[in-house]
Amino acid sequence: MKSKTLFIGLGVGASIVALFAFCIVAAKLLLNEKNIIFTGGKIGIIEVQGMIVDSSEFIKQLHEFRDNDRIRAVVLRIDSPGGAVGPSQEMYEEVRKFTQKKKMVVSMGSLAASGGYYIAAPANMIFANPGTVTGSIGVLMKLSNIQGLLGKVGLNSFVLKSGKFKDSGSPVRSMTKEDEQILQGVIDSMHGQFVKAVADGRKIPVEEVGRIADGRIFSGEQALRFKLVDRLGNLQDAVSEAAKMAGIKGEPELVYPPEKKKSLIDFIIEGTSDRIANKLRLESGISARYELRGDSYQ
């Protein structure tokens, strides 16, 4: 009788422990807690679309996938003409760091040029469609001058400055040869950084990259010949390769970052900051970008 009671007690105890463990796992899943012990084949999907103007959301998503043990690899889907230099470089660096911990495969859509290509370069593998527009390794600095227009409407502009070159590139005065040399030096420096980033990311000699880094664009098929991409294929091909690299058996589960919920105040702040940034760019007359220009690709 005592043995039977002991056996029943042990059974009840084991059931309670099992139920408790199940509740913990369920709670963690419901709370979307990271680093949960879980076996499965999950591939994270991060999308970069449109102009690159800010890197914060991309970096946040990348860190979440990096730190989540359920995510075995990431596919980076790019459809972008590029954009601002700083954010492109920040995204490049985070991609490079990510590949030291997990695998990343890039899938290029219709367009992955200039800054859009820059951020792809350090990935473990790059897929492009045969007709993807890519490359455009170069830097663009847009300058404007409205001095003549102001004169026609009878307006004059006066600038007080602390140094001779403080207003280089100003839209309200003519550019001097010295101004041009200084700004060209900045462009050349940024271009050199771009070339080195591609060479390091793709493991191609700098001289080899330099020969094609004159701003020209390539089709995906051409880019393959120049070693700028690894294979021709679509998003599904990239997902399959990422699963293979991560050792996932069978069809992987695709995980997308949760959509960012924006409040009214977020839209107001973002709209205001965009207007201020545009105003500053107009007044300075200077905007350096890793960006593909051309109405066909906007």
**Active centre residues (catalytic):** 114, 166
- Amino acid sitting at position 232: L
As a whole number of angstroms, the distance between CA 206 and CA 225 comes to: 17
Q: Tokens 């050792």 label which residue?
A: 247
The answer to whether the beta carbons of residues 101 and 131 sit under 8 Å apart is no
As a whole number of angstroms, the distance between CA 55 and CA 86 comes to: 9
- Amino acid sitting at position 166: K
- DSSP secondary structure code for residue 258 in this structure: P
* Ramachandran class of 97: left when φ > 0, alpha when ψ lies in -120 to 50, beta otherwise: alpha
- DSSP secondary structure code for residue 124 in this structure: S
